[in-house]
């Protein structure tokens, strides 16, 4: 077997080199963290990821590619909430109508990774009883590494799978292709149409309109939604908007404040968490002055708690935060120190509908170091494919609270609804 070892900063960098040197079908054999020697006694060396990979034997793979789907899923079920097992628990359980194959060789290659996952879990358990800031940071790093390895297992299993095109009646095939074209992951699309076929009569399937409505109802059961801030049980509604740079958090804060004032006649206060001295605080300050809302800037958790306590007479408090790259571990650590506990603040993760699936997944995993209570999708007006919204909802099971559809304040925001989301995917209203 042709083995190569790489020392890299992260798993994505390793995959790039492995694909270049060993081809797109190469498999990862093992990973481990190592420290490069630096300084006195090598104490201050940089921690690197050491990845061992092997070129794939396609002929051998092809000869052994007849393992039932349940066996394939056993390889990585329980290691990630985004596995097909988790998806099956969410909405669909097809009965042997498609085959997912993983070779014995691939299963052996995944074993070292699973052992490392177990080791990381033990380390997390040991650290969970410690409370210092440094130990929290170390635990966060381990959680990040665990997430990367989960993602890698998902990639390995996906590369080892073979999905034959489903044999479907014409109307179901058209819907299957429409959902895939709209960005819904192939496996999710397949499960939907196969489950629909199992539960519909031949006469039903002959009506395209009936088939479309049937699948729409299935999709509506999958999506979890909230009624915006109205779902918050506390009489004082406090929401913080978290997320990466450029997704439209500050504009969304302005829209939410306007909704609370104009629609619900509530007394609103705005807070900007400004740890990087950026321009967002200035924008919110100007907006607060315009709508005559209370406004404060805070730097840390103690400051935030003090200001929230001072706003006890306000009906709604909306908190804007610095744009934070999901790859900026230092800034994520600072943000986690402020929003690390589930409590009186509702944490909403803001994502752009124009983002790629992989980027959404990475952002959600990294921001998952904080409690995420709901998701707000922005920039729907800038996208033409909405399958990624469903992919995200199925993988992470986070309820959607709001959708934004433009830059106008306050008009271009709406409370998320399953009907609206399904219409975006299947174009029911345009039928």
CATH code, domain with 387 = 3.40.50.300
The neighbour count for residue 237, using CB atoms within 10 Å, is: 23
The yes-or-no verdict on residue 63 having pLDDT over 50 is: no
Q: Which of 26-30, 283-287, 390-394 has the highest mean pLDDT?
A: 390-394
Residues 218 and 234 in one domain: no
Q: Look up residue 380 and give its two tokens.
A: 């729907």
**Predicted local distance difference test score (pLDDT) of residue 236:** 94
The larger pLDDT score, comparing residue 252 to residue 29, is at 252
pLDDT in tens, 221-235: 989 999 899 988 888
The yes-or-no verdict on residue 146 having pLDDT over 90 is: no
**Predicted local distance difference test score (pLDDT) of residue 153:** 58
pLDDT in tens, 232-287: 888 899 999 999 989 999 999 999 999 999 999 999 999 999 877 666 788 889 99
Mean pLDDT of 76-86: 34
Residues 343 and 262 in one domain: yes
The yes-or-no verdict on residue 28 having pLDDT over 90 is: no
Residues 103 and 202 in one domain: no
Asked whether the CA dihedral 212, 218, 219, 221 is positive or negative, the reply is positive
Length of the chain in residues, anyone?
A: 431
Q: How far apart are CA 179 and CA 386, in angstroms?
A: 9
User: Is 431 within a domain?
Assistant: no
Give the chain's mean pLDDT: 78
Confidence at 134, pLDDT banded by 50, 70, 90:
very low
The yes-or-no verdict on residue 95 having pLDDT over 70 is: no
Residues 288 and 419 in one domain: yes
Residues 97 and 193 in one domain: no
Residues 188 and 237 in one domain: no
pLDDT in tens, 349-382: 999 999 999 999 999 999 999 999 999 999 999 9
The larger pLDDT score, comparing residue 309 to residue 3, is at 309
Indicate the pTM of the whole model. 0.64
The yes-or-no verdict on residue 421 having pLDDT over 90 is: yes
Residues 277 and 394 in one domain: yes
Pairing verdict, β 237-242 and 346-352: parallel
User: Is 89 within a domain?
Assistant: yes
**Predicted local distance difference test score (pLDDT) of residue 218:** 94
User: Is 164 within a domain?
Assistant: no
Percent of the chain with pLDDT over 90: 46
**Predicted local distance difference test score (pLDDT) of residue 133:** 52
User: Is 358 within a domain?
Assistant: yes
Look up the domain containing 361 and give its range.
228-426
Residues 363 and 391 in one domain: yes
Q: How many domains does the chain have?
A: 3
Confidence at 117, pLDDT banded by 50, 70, 90:
low
């Amino acid at each position: 077997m042709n083995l190569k070892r790489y020392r890299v900063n992260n798993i994505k960098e390793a995959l790039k080199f492995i694909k270049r040197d060993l081809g797109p079908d190469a498999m990862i054999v093992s990973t481990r963290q190592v420290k490069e020697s630096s300084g006195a006694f090598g104490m201050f060396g940089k921690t690197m990821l050491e990845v061992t990979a092997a070129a794939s034997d396609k002929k051998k793979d092809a000869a052994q590619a007849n393992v039932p789907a349940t066996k394939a899923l056993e390889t990585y079920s329980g290691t990630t909430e985004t596995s097909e097992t988790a998806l099956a628990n969410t909405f669909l359980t097809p009965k042997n109508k498609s085959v997912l194959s993983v070779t014995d060789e691939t299963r052996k290659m995944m074993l070292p990774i699973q052992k490392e996952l177990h080791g990381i879990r033990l380390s997390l358990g040991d650290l969970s009883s410690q409370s210092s800031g440094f130990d929290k940071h170390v635990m966060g790093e381990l959680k990040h590494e665990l997430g990367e390895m989960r993602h890698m297992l998902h990639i390995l299993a996906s590369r080892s799978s073979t999905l034959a095109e489903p044999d479907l009646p014409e109307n179901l095939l058209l819907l299957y292709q429409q959902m895939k074209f709209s960005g819904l992951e192939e496996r999710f699309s397949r499960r939907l149409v196969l489950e629909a076929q199992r539960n519909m009569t031949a006469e039903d399937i002959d009506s395209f309109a009936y088939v479309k409505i049937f699948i729409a109802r299935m999709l509506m059961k999958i999506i979890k939604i909230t009624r915006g801030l109205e779902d918050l049980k506390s009489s004082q509604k406090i929401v913080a908007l978290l997320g990466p740079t450029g997704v439209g958090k500050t504009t969304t804060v302005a829209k939410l404040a306007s909704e609370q004032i104009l629609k619900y006649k509530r007394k609103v206060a705005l807070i900007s968490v400004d740890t990087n001295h950026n321009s967002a605080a200035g924008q919110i300050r100007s907006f607060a002055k315009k709508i005559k809302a209370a406004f404060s800037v805070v730097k840390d958790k103690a400051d935030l708690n003090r200001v929230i306590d001072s706003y006890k007479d306000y009906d709604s408090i909306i908190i804007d935060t610095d744009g934070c790259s999901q790859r900026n571990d230092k800034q994520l650590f600072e943000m986690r120190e402020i929003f690390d506990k589930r409590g009186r603040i509702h944490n909403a993760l803001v994502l752009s509908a124009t983002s790629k699936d992989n980027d959404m997944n990475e952002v959600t995993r990294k921001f998952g170091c904080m409690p995420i209570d709901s998701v707000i999708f922005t920039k729907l007006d800038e996208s033409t494919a909405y399958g990624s919204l469903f992919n995200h909802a199925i993988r992470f099971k986070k309820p959607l609270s709001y959708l934004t559809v433009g830059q106008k304040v306050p008009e271009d925001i709406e409370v998320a609804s399953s009907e609206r989301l399904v219409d975006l995917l299947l174009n029911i209203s345009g039928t």
